[in-house]
Amino acid sequence: MLSLGQSCQVLLGALVFYNIVKGVYNVFFHPLRHYPGPLLWRASPIPKNWHLMMGTYHRKAYDMHQKYHGTVRIGPENLSYVDPDAWKDIIGRPYKTELPKDGRFFGEGTLGDNVISAAPPDHHARMRRLFSPAFSNTALKAQEPLLHKYADQMITKMLDMQKRFGQVNLADIYAFTTFDIMADLIFGQPLMLLERGDYTPWVKAVHLGMKFMLWRAVLTEIPIIGAAISAITAPALKKGAQEHNEYAADLVDRRLAHGSGGKPDVWSFVLKHNDDGKGLTSQEMRDNASMFTLAGSETSATAMTGTTAFILNNPRVQKLLVEEVRKAFPSPADMTMAALKDLPYLDAVIKEGLRVYLAGAGVMPRITPPGGADICGDHIPEGTTVWIDPWVANRLDRFWARPLEFLPERWLNTDNPEFVKDEKSIFRPFWAGPRDCLGKNLAWHELRLVLASLFWHYDVEMTPKDPNWARQRNFLTWDRKPLMVKLSSAR
């Protein structure tokens, strides 16, 4: 009879032998063997998952797509795409032929079982029909005074922090602003982050939860070890998710008790269209409230922070933007939704910011269905995990002129010979197809209003200058660095 030590040695040897055999099969005999990629990545899922967990996958993916043109095999059963056609073949398909999502990356089992981001096609179409009026231009026009209220609070808070500390962390101020806006739109009341000047425990838990959701998703792909770690961490993750959802549910229930009247928040529009039999259930409302608060706050704050950092690292761009904004508006009250849309350089700056510092830069995997699927001219076997790497595509010189530079001019004049060959069809900051971002109109107005307000009121200087500010880790969203600035009144 083997001792415990001998049994462990046998088990370890068997595990090593299995992985060697499996790796040989993956490299030389697997149906995806013809796709290029680094040897270890083709042999095992460990390199990809390691870099996802460390927040460095995006940089490795960029290096691989620079080396291997076309589709890259970044795991034994995983393909990465940057081709413009991949948007319609992977993301933009109609409901009937859409590729199933890998629910681990879309909040399944974490944000609730009824979130629109993870809903099957029939439920997604129903939910989108009911939520769309709340994010329409009509709704946005009605919500405009609320957005201006928080923009004014943001400007006041910036001045207060500048006086108290001699500098301001815009990464935090932007997050306070977007979370307060979304909480007011979803829960009928702000989280008071701008007033208190700090995050609440609930918001801190949201940030940490994104990392845990990613880590759990990738760990489950590692045989035996992944299953064991997932089993150990599952109770704590479930408890945390439950506490998060219960807090959001309580806020939603209190808001729903007031019905569809009152100020024009999300529920005032949803409840008007919540048809009997085809409407949202109470649980669907609760689950989606949590998801909307996270998606609408974190991504907008990230886009604002990244775009501002690139502006401040490019004095020429900052000068042109300041001139446009201050010339256009005699006072902040003139910054209406319609007027802000008419600022071409502001829009170009935002688009360029979204290109170089894409807020949703994390991967969003799809899985090919039984029988496989045709993607970018190839038939991909069933069960293959496929995704688009938009952050990578936005930085490749095969698609963009001077891709690593911050050049808003590329969006101003499509006849400019330097930028005429830019592959703008690959630029999809709000994704594509029937599941594109529902809140993109809101996000656009927030970005225009916040940036215009900042540069109208203040002369802004990054302290210290950091040309490498955007070199950060990514865990579905960016692990943002502080963006420290010095403000002086422009008036």
Contact indicator for 457, 490 with CB cutoff of 8 Å: yes
| pLDDT of 327 | 98
Beta strand 484-489 pairing with 458-462: antiparallel
Over residues 296-326, the pLDDT tens digits come to: 898 999 999 999 999 999 999 999 999 999 9
Cα 38 to Cα 60: distance, rounded to the nearest angstrom: 11
DSSP-derived pairing of the beta strands 168-169 and 484-489: antiparallel
Q: Name the more confident of 298 and 155.
A: 155
Rounded distance between C-alpha atoms, residue 436 and residue 253, angstroms: 28
pLDDT of residue 218: 79
Q: Give the residue among 359, 312, 324, 332 at the shortest CA–CA distance from 465.
A: 312
Q: Using one digit for the tens of pLDDT, what is the confidence trace for 400-457? A: 999 999 999 999 977 788 999 999 999 999 988 888 889 999 999 999 999 999 999 9
pLDDT reported for residue 229: 67
Which of 205-209, 230-234, 313-317, 407-411 bottoms out in mean pLDDT, i.e. has the lowest? Answer: 230-234
Residue 276 pLDDT: 64
pLDDT band at 99 (very low <50, low <70, confident <90, very high): very high
When pLDDT is averaged across residues 78-104 and rounded to a whole number, the result is 90
In a domain, 29, yes or no: no
Instruction: Please determine, for residue 105, whether its predicted confidence score (pLDDT) is greater than 80.
Output: no
Taking the C-alpha atoms of residue 405 and residue 417, their distance in angstroms, rounded to an integer, is: 17
pLDDT digits (tens, 9 = 90+) for 106-120: 656 555 557 888 888
Residue 119: per-residue pLDDT? 82
Instruction: Confirm whether 13 is domain-assigned.
Output: no
User: How high does pLDDT run on average in the chain?
Assistant: 89
In this prediction, residue 287 has a pLDDT band, given cuts at 50, 70 and 90, of confident
Q: Residue 18, Cα to own-chain centre: how many angstroms?
A: 37
Residue range 60-88, pLDDT digits in tens: 999 999 999 899 999 999 999 999 999 99
What is the C-alpha separation between 332 and 344, in angstroms, rounded?
A: 18
Q: Which long-range contacts (CB under 8 A, 24 or more apart) does 131-135 make?
A: 131/266, 131/270, 131/288, 131/438, 132/438, 133/269, 133/270, 133/272, 133/273, 134/265, 134/266, 134/267, 134/268, 134/269, 134/270, 135/266, 135/438, 135/439, 135/440, 135/441, 135/442
- Range 204-216 average pLDDT: 73
Domain that holds residue 232: 77-489
Domain count across the chain: 1
Domain-embedded: residue 59: no
At residue 297's C-alpha, the angle toward residues 332 and 457, to 5°, is: 20
Q: Is residue 476 part of a domain?
A: yes
pLDDT band at 473; cut points 50, 70, 90: very high
Residue 302 is assigned to a structural domain of this protein: yes
pLDDT at 107: 57
364, 368, 369, 373 alpha-carbon torsion, rounded to 10°: 130
pTM, two decimal places:
0.93
User: What does the angle CA 468 – CA 472 – CA 477 come to, to the nearest 5 degrees?
Assistant: 140
Spatial neighbors of 176 by CB under 8 A, at least 6 apart, are 154, 157, 193, 194, 197, 199
Mark the binding-site residues for heme, compressed into ranges: 437
Asked, for residue 45, whether it belongs to a domain, the answer is: no
Q: Is residue 125 part of a domain?
A: yes
- Is residue 49 in a domain? no
Q: What is the CATH number of the domain that holds 143?
A: 1.10.630.10
- 252-285 pLDDT, tens digit each: 888 888 877 778 889 888 888 777 667 888 888 8
Residues forming the annotated binding site?
Answer: 437
